[in-house]
Structure 1
Amino acid sequence: MPYPYAVFGCHTTTAAVFTVALSDADGTKAEAPTACHKDVTPVAGIPWVPIHEKLGVTPGSVPVCHFLPQDGKLWMRN
């Protein structure tokens, strides 16, 4: 969601992070950081998009992956 100013939303997760190589039919190539959440079970008190319902899977049964936004930040432990 675009904002006219910097907005930081932090959460702790057990996601695995990958760099995915993408290519278009015209030969354009890019790499995109991707996070795969092992468990998307809703947590009390945290706004939740019922992604498992949209995907037709049971919460916690499959990992759910998504690309990170172009200007997104990711902090992780070594």
Structure 2
Amino acid sequence: MTTEVRVIDETTAEMQLAHACPMCDGDLELRLSPDGARSFCSTCHTIQKPRVPRDPVTGWSLDFLNVGLA
């Protein structure tokens, strides 16, 4: 699912996740930094702040908070 990981500096990385947008299933740009995670979908132009918890057994996951439904 990850197409490329770019290391910005020793604490920040960016990656593109194919078909990972929870709104439209578009490709998602994800930035991980000490301030947390931020994501942007170039298809529907949503900007979100997902949680990225790490489980020692299953690894990393990407959780989005639903704030509304139209």
| Alignment TM-score > 0.5, same fold | no
Structure with more contact order per residue of length (Cα contacts < 8 Å, sep ≥ 6): 1
Q: Which has the higher strand share?
A: 2
Q: Which has the higher helix share?
A: 1
TM-score, L = length of structure 2 = 0.29
Larger Rg: 1
